[in-house]
Copies of this chain bind each other. A is one copy, B any other.
Amino acid sequence: MTADCFAVKGNIFYSKDMVTIKVVPDGYIVCETGKVKGVYEVLPDELTHINIIDYGDRLIIPGLVDIHTHAPQYSFRGLGMDLELIDWLNQNAFPEEAKYSDMEYARRAYAIFVNDLKKSATTRACIFGTIHVDATIILMDLLEATGLKCMVGKVNMDRNSPEYICESGAGSIENTKKWLRESADKYKNIRPILTPRFLPACSDWLLKELSHIRKEYGCPVQSHLSENIAEVEWVKALFPKARNYGDAYDSFGLFGKEAPTVMAHCVYTNGEEMKLIKKNGVFVAHCPESNINLSSGIAPVRAYINERIPVGLGTDMAAGSSNSIFKAMTKAIQVSKLKWKLADRSLKPLTIDEAFYLGTKGGGAFFGKVGSFEEGYEFDAVVLDDGNLLHPQPLTLKQRLERIIYLSDDRNIVAKYAAGKHIWPEPANSRSVAADLT
């Protein structure tokens, strides 16, 4: 046993499988060199001398995992929700993203995003930046300082986009290499992820070159898949040889297999595309609020679960309005009920245990052994105080967790750990991201 060993004590919740949340009342999680050594009802004799942080009657859950969101769009969350995807991109997202060519703006805007993410229950996230290298580096620097474990991508787009946000193919590749060189070995917590925006915005040449870069740098990949009917039709027209949207990515080596890949949405995925996702081990980032707000539809998450396709949750701001994966869990349950009621009676609604799994271990798997308190998992944890959620009756621990999922906000978060390190709240004397908030 190393010196870097401690325990947290409290009411512990985590998922081993999707069926039932495991509950350990008043138990101990032992963390050794950043990883879970074990969960114990009673601390074994050989561990009784380690430092114990006692959180009393509070709840301790794995850190939440957000496997799809857009940092530059956070500035217009809650705005302009009357459009569908393509119009929404052109009217809301692209004009805002263009502003990140201005470093002063990027610093100010990203500080707001990062500061709020730090205060949320999220410990891991896959994050889109913009096409701009310098702004993306600023985002990575700010995130690094928080201790959050993130994958961050400089976006690639070289066609079918407004001129002010469109790269040349060669420029996009050159900048991607510059970004990867600049971020190499710079970060402990942040990792670059290749980020072709979506197929309509990327030429064949660009996709091919990105695939080469991916191999050279060993990056994972994030993008969008089958989100909206008009978008899917557009991709069909742009890639006439591809059997489906996913197959087009696959033809460029950007769809799982040796390239760990997370694809957001998958609302209109079925048949062949679903088989390919499964075969290639592609992760689905289910973003229920985004899919409602942009009138995209409801992803068939139950079908993915039945097929044992890896699924996690995404907030997809600013098509989603909130950075909370708790809210994504409740939204995932809610839309699954509507899917079942209005569209397909064979796809039964998600349970609270399943939604909790998706927001922890489900998405966490994209980061490795993350999102659970099973032995060997990285110790990401959130400590929650539900004391302000008053109630007149006794509640079981499971009920207390349900209420946290449906009712909590950042006020309920007492402490946060990522990979064994206490990251929130910061000690009073540390330099905070808040210093960048003006």
Residues of A in contact with B (beta carbons under 8 Å apart): 75-82, 96, 99, 105, 108-109, 112, 115-116, 289, 292-293, 295-298, 321-322, 330, 333-335, 337-338, 340-343, 349, 351-352, 390-393, 395, 399, 402-403, 405-407, 409, 437
Determine the residue in chain B with the shortest Cβ distance to A350: B82
Determine the residue in chain B with the shortest Cβ distance to A351: B82
Chain B CB count within 10 A is highest, among A99, A297, A341, for A341
- Contacts A77-B407, A403-B79; A295 near B337 (Cβ below 8 A): yes
Find chain B residues with CB under 8 A from A352 CB: 81-82
- Contacts A79-B402, A334-B292, A402-B78; A322 near B391 (Cβ below 8 A): no
Find chain B residues with CB under 8 A from A349 CB: 82, 295
Q: How far is the CB of A301 from chain B (nearest CB, A)?
A: 15
Contact of A295 among B340, B351, B402 (CB under 8 A): B340
**Could you name 11 residue pairs across A and B whose Cβ atoms are closer than 8 Å?**
A78-B406, A80-B402, A81-B406, A108-B392, A292-B337, A295-B341, A297-B342, A298-B342, A321-B330, A335-B338, A338-B342
Find chain B residues with CB under 8 A from A330 CB: 321
A392, B111: Cα distance in complex, Å: 9
Q: How far is the CB of A326 from chain B (nearest CB, A)?
A: 11
Chain B CB count within 10 A is highest, among A296, A393, A437, for A393
- Contacts A81-B333, A333-B81, A337-B293; A321 near B406 (Cβ below 8 A): yes
B75–A406 CB distance below 8 A: no
A96, B338: Cα distance in complex, Å: 27
Determine the residue in chain B with the shortest Cβ distance to A334: B292
Find chain B residues with CB under 8 A from A341 CB: 295-297
Determine the residue in chain B with the shortest Cβ distance to A333: B81
B293–A390 CB distance below 8 A: no
Q: How far is the CB of A137 from chain B (nearest CB, A)?
A: 18
A225, B295: Cα distance in complex, Å: 28
Q: How far is the CB of A91 from chain B (nearest CB, A)?
A: 13
A99–B393 CB distance below 8 A: yes
Q: How far is the CB of A157 from chain B (nearest CB, A)?
A: 21
A399, B75: Cα distance in complex, Å: 12
A75–B409 CB distance below 8 A: no
Determine the residue in chain B with the shortest Cβ distance to A343: B342
A334–B402 CB distance below 8 A: no
A390, B111: Cα distance in complex, Å: 10
- Contacts A295-B341, A298-B342; A407 near B322 (Cβ below 8 A): yes
Q: How far is the CB of A228 from chain B (nearest CB, A)?
A: 10
A334, B335: Cα distance in complex, Å: 10
Contact of A391 among B82, B112, B403, B407 (CB under 8 A): B112
Find chain B residues with CB under 8 A from A116 CB: 390
Find chain B residues with CB under 8 A from A78 CB: 402-403, 405-407
A334, B295: Cα distance in complex, Å: 8
Determine the residue in chain B with the shortest Cβ distance to A109: B392
- Contacts A321-B406, A352-B81; A292 near B108 (Cβ below 8 A): no
Find chain B residues with CB under 8 A from A337 CB: 292-293, 295
A392–B112 CB distance below 8 A: yes
Determine the residue in chain B with the shortest Cβ distance to A77: B407
Find chain B residues with CB under 8 A from A99 CB: 392-393
Q: How far is the CB of A112 from chain B (nearest CB, A)?
A: 4
Find chain B residues with CB under 8 A from A105 CB: 392
Find chain B residues with CB under 8 A from A409 CB: 409
- Contacts A79-B402, A293-B337, A333-B81; A390 near B112 (Cβ below 8 A): yes
